[in-house]
Structure 1
Amino acid sequence: MSRLSIIAYSVCGLFFSVSLAFSLFYGYKVITHDLPKEKKAVETYNYHFVLVPEELDNEYWKLVEKGAQDAAKKYGVLLEYTGPKQANIDDHVKTIEMSAASKVDGIMTQGLSEEQFTPLINRIVASGIPVVTVDTDAANSRRLTYIGTDNYYSGYLAGKALIADTFGKINVAIITGSFYANHMQQRVKGFENAVKSEKRINIITVQESEISRVKAAEKANQILQDHPEVNAFFGTSALDGIEIAHVVKKFHKQHQIYIIGFDTLPETLNFIREGTITATVVQEPYQMGYEAVKMMVDHIQGKKVPPIVHTETRILRKADLPVSTQSGKAEGN
């Protein structure tokens, strides 16, 4: 064997030995350190529901979602929370239609208008998917049940609160979230009927905010300029009362104008503590979401479900807040 052949064999042997050493080292490392961890077991669900709110990022609807998610965990439900980012009835309807097309086990939503939502809900129910209305009913539809506030009664309570809290001549302006939405119509109607027998109370104007902070502020600002005689406001949605309060403070009239709002968002409670908002109508959005999921599961399991479940509604004033929070300190969990 020639000297070159010996050198070649030696080099090949050395290369093979090095390659083997690296293979053994990295093979050991993979076996002992880099094996993929065992995949977590896929979570299984009994049912798939969809909750479609009027406005996805609305704080009120996030409370509804929280209740629904808690119930979903208890009953083994996969819950989707999806809808328009800002209130838009066409987008709302499209989201419901898409949910139905995906063959979910149940849909929870509002019955915002008889004209559009009643036939929509009826078609979905006819296809075999139960629908629960939350917060706003579609009473003439084939929905399974309604879970939420008695909206006429809530407006009536607001009117009675105004009567109890004021004296003398009162000129009221109403800012409502929507002219077309059933629940807003009912709140205005309840308020009007509560105060109509009081000769000292006059409703000057009713304006629409379109569930928009900007629009609510614009309307409140315009009302105070066009109607300087206004000395009371009723805001029928959570955002209306808050923006009315901002505008009233801007005009430095917080001690001259009575405001009653809706819901207990943190800003609303802060305005109550400082006295800018006198009262607010309290709803139970968490309970609405929780009960909606529970009722849907009960129905699927063959249990009887009541056609209407009204959640609690009451008036809250500064005196009703815990003493520790009236000074402006944060409330506990």
Structure 2
Amino acid sequence: MSNRKWNLGILLLFILFACLLLSFLLSALRIRELVQPLKSGGVVIDTRHVVLISQELDNPFWRAVEQGAKEAAAAYGMTLEYMGPFRINPAEQIKLLEKSIAAKADAVLIQGINDPYYRTLIDKAMNQGIPVITVDTDEPGSRRLSYVGTDNLEAGKKMGELVVQAAGGQGSIGVLLGKAEADNQRMRLEGFRSVISRYPELAIVDVRSSNISRLQAAGQTEEMLLSHPQIRYLVGFSALDGPGMMEAVERVIPQGVSIFAFDDLEETKEGIRQCRIVSTIVQQPHEMGYHAVSMLNDYFQGNNLQRQHYTAIAVLDRNTAGNGAGGSCR
């Protein structure tokens, strides 16, 4: 009988000890939860989730935008999620914006696509407290917070000045646009026309769309040169136009056509070094991404933003293309 009492006593002591140990562990965890915010200055850090929706996932231009945005996000304690269609697909961009709004992202960076429904989605996001900034291409008429990118009207004017300088104020010009309906392409052409129109003997004889495709850029250029053999100056306003135009010129009229390109793909720079392209206008996609996230940080701090934030452009020609490419082309 005494042994049973002894065993029961030991069992009760063990249960009591286990309860005390469990209580101690729970208290320690609770104290850790209370102390952790104090290590961050007494404030619980709320990491903001920013979504960047690109035009095309692995496009070098948009990868540069992503890199700039990531660097700024790291500097300001935000997380950046990069997404986009594998191939250019505005319908997919719309779906990704819908999903970002449904997921309650803290902010969204997007390319404008000049679509009425897209504008309603931007307005919906803004109404729900999700700030939207357009990058590279604006979405006029929407309630987007700001636009960050090239001043496309001025870029077009700069292209006009380059052609005027090369042409001496006279000659025939063929123009390629990436997408005729895109706002950035339309504004580049508008700026270009405003300069060319000052010279009565300098004429734009054809304007076509490459649909942001090197293959189509080559095909459309070839058709332009065959339809208008008097063309001596070719101008492309999207990144793949320069390489496409080089390919077509090589097939149709290897000598006597001056090419002016846009952006700084490696093939375009090589074309400049080989005197196959006169010059190209270079944008700053890395700066676009960085400044867009920096502006979001300003907005979250309660500061007002300017409606447009223009990033710089530069002209790359044989004197600035590197690899010892200086000197004139003859």
**TM-score, structure 2 length as denominator?**
0.81
**2:39 counterpart residue number:** none
Is contact 2:169-2:199 (8 Å) kept?
no
1:261 aligns with 2:261: yes
Q: Equivalent residue of 2:290, what SS?
A: helix
- 1:102-113 matches, within 5 Å, as 102-113=103-114
Is contact 1:318-1:326 (8 Å) kept?
yes
Say which is worse superposed, 177-186 or 87-96, in terms of deviation.
Answer: 87-96
For these two proteins, the number of residue pairs brought into alignment is 282
**1:87 counterpart residue number:** 88
Equivalent residue letter for 1:212: S
**1:227 counterpart residue number:** 228
- 1:55-66 matches, within 5 Å, as 55-66=56-67
Is contact 1:249-1:276 (8 Å) kept?
no
Give the Å deviation of 1:262.
Answer: 0.5
**1:326 counterpart residue number:** 325
Say which is worse superposed, 136-145 or 280-289, in terms of deviation.
Answer: 136-145
**1:69 counterpart residue number:** 70
Superposed CA deviations along residues 43-92 of structure 1, whole A, max 9, x for unmatched, are x9711111111122211111111111111222222211111122222111
**1:311 counterpart residue number:** 311
Equivalent residue letter for 2:200: K
Counterpart Cα distance in 1 of 2:170 and 2:301: 56
Counterpart Cα distance in 2 of 1:52 and 1:175: 26
Q: Equivalent residue of 1:138, what SS?
A: coil
Q: Provide structure 2 residue ranges, at least 5 long, that are not aligned to the other structure.
A: 1-44
Superposed CA deviations along residues 273-292 of structure 1, whole A, max 9, x for unmatched, are 11111011111111000011
Say which is worse superposed, 107-116 or 226-235, in terms of deviation.
Answer: 107-116
Report the identity percentage: 35
Superposed CA deviations along residues 301-329 of structure 1, whole A, max 9, x for unmatched, are 2223222111112322111234x4428xx
**1:187 counterpart residue number:** 188
Equivalent residue letter for 1:217: A
Give the Å deviation of 1:187.
Answer: 0.7
Q: Provide structure 1 residue ranges, at least 5 long, that are not aligned to the other structure.
A: 1-43, 328-333
Equivalent residue letter for 1:97: E
- 1:2-13 matches, within 5 Å, as none
- 1:1-333 matches, within 5 Å, as 46-113=47-114, 115-167=116-168, 169-253=170-254, 255-322=255-322, 324-326=323-325
Counterpart Cα distance in 2 of 1:151 and 1:211: 17
Change (3 A) 1:252 1:173: closer
Counterpart Cα distance in 2 of 1:105 and 1:75: 14
